[in-house]
Structure 1
Amino acid sequence: MSERLVTALGRPPSEGSGSIPEETGAPADAPLFDEDLQLSLFTCYQLHYSGFEGVDEDWEWNPRLLRLRALLETRLEWALREETSGLGRYVERSGTATETAARLGEMVREAEGPSVSAFLRKHATFGQFREFVQHRSLYHLREADPHTWAIPRVTGRTKAALVEIQADEYGQGDHRRMHSELFRTVMRGLGLDVRYGAYLSVVPAVTLALNNTMSFFGLHRRLRGAALGHLAAFEMTSTGPNRELSLGLRRLGVAAQVRHYFDEHVEADAAHEQIAARDMCGVFVMENPELERDVLFGAAASLLLDRLWAEHVLRHWREGASSLVDRPWTEAVP
């Protein structure tokens, strides 16, 4: 399916539309680990960001391509809701912004799973750190963009809180301080390719699923609550891991200017955590109590995918293997 999709995108929509698959052909039992499904969905979403070199921009809203994307999204959403079905114990349909923030905090504290950042701080080789950055490059080289789709879909105090967080992510107007640019410094310091998507051919399905979920929430107005909840969980689980990542690079002798990205997030995300949980999600739930479950769903999806991704990476590293995959045909992605 993904090969057919890439081949079609290499042609003008008037010629390639007939080659777009009309069904996913994907198994229904494990969409989060389905290489073909996740790569196809990532390809569809990329047209809404910076696109692909040589691909006609009219593909972005091509009806046949959108139908395929909708089928893929149905599989993704089914898997996410199935895996986060135990949300009932957190839902309370009423309460203050502080109480909503407390429930999000409870979810984060109760989340189980191995810690990649702890491994990187104590045990990782330079090569394993490079792998970690390759995985993360699909998000961090366009950091904040998926959640920014939610800004025009919320109002008032919720919008103001979201904009406050995103403005920091974009460097408060200074492109040199944009977090995506700071991450490029990390990649250069580790001798990696800083072009967006350079490592698309080697990241596994679960890494793609992690990124696709952010795009899915951000691009659908009906899931605006999930987008906010996802961002809140993202910020609430950032400070400690970024401190460990900086210490891990220091252990490996990496220069301070390369570590700056992680040090910056230790300070910034400590503030963002409170803004996201209380001022953004808390106020949003107070004003839209019927969307409380969506906010918690977004947070749970973020925590779920972080756990699945960490399990994949650490399982391979502890076996002495690479956490990356060999997907050579994606070199042909236009």
Structure 2
Amino acid sequence: MKLPGPRGAASAAVIDLLAGRVAGLPRQLEPDDDDDLQLALFVCYELAYRGWDGVDDTWEWDPGLLGARATLEARFESDLYALVGPPEPVDPAEVPQRLIELTESDDGPPLSKYLRGRATHDQFREFVQLRSVYHLREADPHTWAIPRLAGKPKAALIEIQIDEYGGGVAPRMHQELFKQTMSWFGLDLTYGAYVDLAGAPTLANNNVMSLFGMHRKRRGALVGHLAAYEMTSTAPNRNYGNGLRRLGGDAAAIAFYDEHVEADAVHEQIAAHDLCGSFAAAEPERAGDVLFGARCALALDNRWAGALLEAWR
């Protein structure tokens, strides 16, 4: 993936450092706005995924860059607390039911219904472009949790992730199925091709998974985030698939959404009970983190959906 263009002082400093245009970072790395913050974080996090073209892999563990990333993460975490509140203690036995109540009461912007019944070809195409930032590496951020869990929660997470990775069959991987949708719209299938088009809400949706995934202490928030995704996925993906059928999408283009309707209906129960319920029972002091991660997933996704609908209006 090519380094994106900067959007402010913080992202410019990080990008210039990785591109070899400067020798170090400024003493104070203060983002100009949320767009600048989210891009700077995304650039830092990508070093732990597939990296940037022409950027040495050793930057992933550079002490100076990690220190700067920690400063940016503190700002992002503060924003998350302001958005959904900090983690609070909760009875571990209540976690599955609290997750069910949280996801069932979610009444975010009706993006999937709009795409099902009203979106134009160009609007659906833009939706796919923006979602590609996540879907071309779908499941990867949540996989960080596997070596940080044990026993029943670990087995449950692996059961979910096996489906995400197509049961080990490359063409069935969700990352690969999404390329079929992109191909139908004539989009660039290159990993990260549309990062430059992605605003702060899109990047924040991706960054929160990396924030939780790359820190062992946030493993509870990571499994809660995944649970919220799985437990709210079936109906929207059915709407996306039907919207694409309305626009003339063929079976290959719709396969990604149909696959999620089938798989995530099963994943809902695994995520709530076998993954999060057993994690909370095993680590009761982190039960509140599970619900915090779920709240973050829902709030950020709702913010993203609202921003997209508003832009189209």
| 1:129-186 C-alpha deviation (Å, 9 max, x unpaired) | 0110111111100010000001000100000000010011011110110000000111
Conserved 8 A contact 1:21-1:68 = no
Stretches of structure 1 lacking an aligned partner (at least 5 in a row): 319-334
- In structure 2, which of residues 99, 106, 112 is the aligned counterpart of residue 104 of structure 1? 99
Q: Partners of 2:268 and 2:205 in 1: how far apart? A: 20
Please name the residue that 1:65 is paired with: 65
Shift in Å, 1:4? 2.4
Q: Which SS does the other structure have where 2:192 is aligned? A: coil
Q: Partners of 1:68 and 1:87 in 2: how far apart? A: 25
Conserved 8 A contact 2:165-2:172 = yes
Please name the residue that 1:269 is paired with: 264
2:290 alignment partner AA: V
| Match status 1:3 vs 2:12 | yes
Q: Partners of 1:101 and 1:207 in 2: how far apart? A: 28
- In structure 1, which of residues 152, 162, 168 is the aligned counterpart of residue 163 of structure 2? 168
2:25 alignment partner AA: I
| 1:196-236 C-alpha deviation (Å, 9 max, x unpaired) | 11111111111101100000100000000000000000001
Equivalent residue runs for 1:264-303 within 5 Å: 264-303=259-298
Q: Partners of 1:6 and 1:238 in 2: how far apart? A: 34
| Match status 1:119 vs 2:124 | no
1:39 alignment partner AA: L
1:93 alignment partner AA: D
Conserved 8 A contact 1:238-1:269 = yes
| Match status 1:227 vs 2:227 | no
Q: Partners of 2:110 and 2:128 in 1: how far apart? A: 15
Conserved 8 A contact 2:213-2:219 = yes
Shift in Å, 1:39? 0.3
Q: Partners of 1:132 and 1:235 in 2: how far apart? A: 20
Shift in Å, 1:53? 1.1
Please name the residue that 2:47 is paired with: 47
Conserved 8 A contact 2:156-2:275 = yes
Conserved 8 A contact 2:95-2:291 = no
Stretches of structure 2 lacking an aligned partner (at least 5 in a row): 1-9
Shift in Å, 1:3? 1.8
Q: Partners of 1:270 and 1:174 in 2: how far apart? A: 21
Q: Which SS does the other structure have where 1:253 is aligned? A: coil
1:268 alignment partner AA: A
| Match status 1:152 vs 2:157 | no
Q: Partners of 1:176 and 1:110 in 2: how far apart? A: 35
- In structure 2, which of residues 237, 249, 255 is the aligned counterpart of residue 254 of structure 1? 249
Please name the residue that 1:22 is paired with: 27
Q: Which SS does the other structure have where 1:201 is aligned? A: helix
Q: Partners of 1:180 and 1:188 in 2: how far apart? A: 13
Q: Which SS does the other structure have where 1:26 is aligned? A: coil
2:18 alignment partner AA: L
Shift in Å, 1:92? 3.5
Please name the residue that 2:3 is paired with: none
Number of residue pairs matched by the alignment: 304
Q: Partners of 1:24 and 1:153 in 2: how far apart? A: 31
Q: Partners of 1:273 and 1:181 in 2: how far apart? A: 22
TM norm structure 1 = 0.88
Q: Compared with structure 1, are the counterparts of its residues 5 and 94 closer, same or farther at alpha carbon in structure 2 (3 Å cutoff)?
A: closer
Percent of residue pairs identical: 53
